[in-house]
Amino acid sequence: MITGGAGFIGSNLAASMIGAPGVRVRILDNLSRKGVVKNLQWLESKAGKENLEVVIGDVRNPDVVKRAAAGAAEIYHLAAQVAVTSSVVNPVEDFDVNARGTLNVLEAARLSGMKPFFFYTSTNKVYGSLSSVAIVEGGESYRAQDPAFRGVNESQRLDFHSPYGCSKGTADQYVRDYARIFGLPTVVFRMSCIAGPRQFGTEDQGWVAHFLYSAIAGRPITIYGDGLQVRDVLHVHDLIDAIHAARKHLDITAGKIYNLGGGVSRAYSVLQMLRAIERCTGAVIRTRFDKLRPGDQPLYISDTRNLEKDTGWSARRRLRDVLDDIHAFAKENQTENGTLQSTNVPAISALEGAA
């Protein structure tokens, strides 16, 4: 069972499982995010009715979640409110989706009697603004003052700095504790920037895809702050490989939390990313600057060595692969006016099983 299975990561994960011998995939999604209906249609085109089941519902409804989780040997909980900005506008909804929704999925797993493998996608935002990481300005980007810096590891102090950080951090601690108290075999990934095909990026979430789509359409891009902020970027297919590796090595990974991103060799500033997108698309990007948003980390790079040691996984795809794959997806789904095709759906309250 994959919650949020029609979303960016969920649809790529589902596609990697569909057709595997003996595997039946059940998706739980409320289809509220713009564009995800196209992802669902894409999945249905790849799968027969015998190995893909779709449940339209909301993780805030415990009865719907319990029915969707019934009989599941593996649960991948990806459904979430994903934007810091939205969490500031409506922190109650953010909590209900991310914290309470996760508790609903955990309870469904616990009460199923199946002891399913439980995977959860958390975020680097649980580490707050990372004021403990000293930085210096260097050319088009910030860099760590310490030349031996290899990224943020899992021992970094939690410091929730936004409603989103609070709700996701609450959730990943619940997942960890359900492993300790109830014996569920869980794995948490605290993720940095994930990018790739099937991502309908917006200004608030999915910034690499948003930049590329804006470049193609000729829309100006707003940069919040000076553009020197750094993130490590991981191709979504490398993420999917990491999820499968964690599942394969559950004898080692169960109950653990891992930081995941592209690492130091795949870290780029906003300005560096804009230049790379111009080279990929041939577009000239117009930019405008606005004030820095509260709680933004000037530099975040994942130290992925614990996951690599425990599973043998390593990132294989380059930034060029990320941008080329997003660009190809955009060209396949572009309308005449340069915008990305998407399918509108009813509001959440009108969907079956909504809270």
Active site residue 164: yes
Residue 214's H or E segment, with its range, is helix 207-217
What are the pLDDT digits (tens) for 228-258?
Answer: 999 999 999 999 999 999 999 999 999 999 9
244 lies in which domain range?
2-199+233-265+297-316
Tokens of 217: 């359409």
> Which residue, among 286, 285, 264, 275, has the nearest Cα to 320 in the 3D structure?
275
Length of the chain, in residues: 355
Q: Confirm whether 55 is domain-assigned.
A: yes
Catalytic residue among 76, 120, 127, 164: 164
pLDDT at residue 343 greater than cutoff 60 = no
For 194-215, letters b (16+ CB in 10 Å) and e give bbbbbbbbbeebbbbbbbbbbb
pLDDT digits (tens, 9 = 90+) for 153-197: 999 999 988 899 999 999 999 999 999 999 999 999 999 999 999
- Position 354 pLDDT exceeds 90: no
pLDDT at residue 207 greater than cutoff 50: yes
Domain count, the chain: 1
Q: Is the pLDDT of residue 226 over 80?
A: yes
Percent of the chain at pLDDT exceeding 90: 78
pLDDT at 348: 27
Query: At residue 41, what is the residue type?
Result: Q
Q: Is residue 331 part of a domain?
A: no
**Looking at residue 111, which CATH number applies to its domain?**
3.40.50.720
In a domain, 215, yes or no: no
Q: Do the domain assignments include residue 302?
A: yes
Identify whether 249 is part of a domain: yes
In whole angstroms, give the CA distance from residue 234 to residue 194: 5
Residue that the structure tokens 């415990």 belong to? 62
Nearest of 82, 94, 92 to residue 122 by alpha carbon: 82
pLDDT for residue 338: 47
Q: Are 17 and 43 in contact (CB under 8 A)?
A: no
> How large is the C-alpha radius of gyration of the chain?
19
- Is the C-alpha dihedral spanning 302, 307, 308, 314 positive or negative? negative
pLDDT of residue 20: 87
Give the orientation angle of helix 8-17 with respect to helix 236-248, to 10 degrees: 60
Instruction: Give the residue from 142, 256, 251 showing the smallest Cα distance to 189.
Output: 256
Strands 230-235 and 267-269, bridge-based pairing: antiparallel
Q: Does residue 244 lie in a domain region?
A: yes
- Could you tell me the pTM of the whole model? 0.92
Bigger pLDDT: 341 or 111?
A: 111
β-bridge partners, 119? 76, 187
Q: What pLDDT, in 10s, does the model give residues 52-63?
A: 999 999 999 999
Question: Cα angle vertex 255, ends 251, 257, to 5°?
Answer: 115
Q: Is 186 contained in some domain?
A: yes
- DSSP one-letter code for 290: E
341 within domain boundaries: no
Q: Which own/partner contact pairs does 242-247 have at CB distance under 8 Å and 24+ positions apart?
A: 242/189, 242/307, 242/311, 242/313, 243/13, 243/76, 243/119, 243/189, 244/16, 245/307, 245/311, 245/312, 245/313, 246/119, 246/187, 246/189, 246/307, 246/311, 246/313, 247/74, 247/117, 247/119, 247/187
Q: Which two tokens stand for residue 317?
A: 């795809």
Report which of 350, 299, 16 is spatially closest to residue 150, judged by C-alpha positions.
299
Residue 206 in contact with residue 273, Cβ under 8 Å? Answer: no
